[in-house]
Amino acid sequence: EVVMTQSPATLSVSPGERATLSCRASQSIGSDLAWYQQKPGQAPRLLIYGASTRATGIPARFSGSGSGTEFTLTISSLQSEDFAVFYCQQYNYWPPWTFGQGTKVEIK
């Protein structure tokens, strides 16, 4: 099973600032990585797939990068609606499809 590890657990950022979230895979997964955003009381929303391709309707301030075992989600200028929990997920070696434990982005 591929273990996904996200850091940090919590990120405190001021509106308008940049946020950088990390995700590490326990073995190489190529670019088979997705990022999700989840707000309280809501289902997750797909942001990024293929490590760097934005899903339909996702604003350009969200960008993904990386390959192999190291991945990054960057939010270039945080808006009030962006504060949430973010998860990475690998889909290279399945089953199972595995998620990271999440990074909470909170208002500083």
> Which lies closer to other proteins via its Cβ, residue 62 or residue 87?
87
Which is nearer to other proteins, 18 or 97 (by Cβ)?
Answer: 97
Residue among 72, 75, 88 nearest 38 (CA): 88
- Least distance in angstroms from the C-beta of 16 to other proteins: 28
* Cβ closest to other proteins, residue 16 vs residue 94: 94
Q: Which 26-85 residues touch other proteins, going by CB under 8 A?
A: 32, 34, 36, 38, 43-46, 48-50, 55-56
The SS3 assignment for 73 reads: strand
Q: How far is residue 30's CA from residue 50's CA, in Å, rounded to a whole number? A: 9
Q: How many residues bind other proteins (CB under 8 A)?
A: 26
Contact mark string toward other proteins, 2..31, x via CB under 8 A: ------------------------------
100 binds other proteins (CB under 8 A): yes
The Cα–Cα gap between 57 and 100 comes to 23
Query: Are 5 and 22 in contact, with CB atoms under 8 Å apart?
Result: no
In the block, tokens 């797909």 appear at: 46
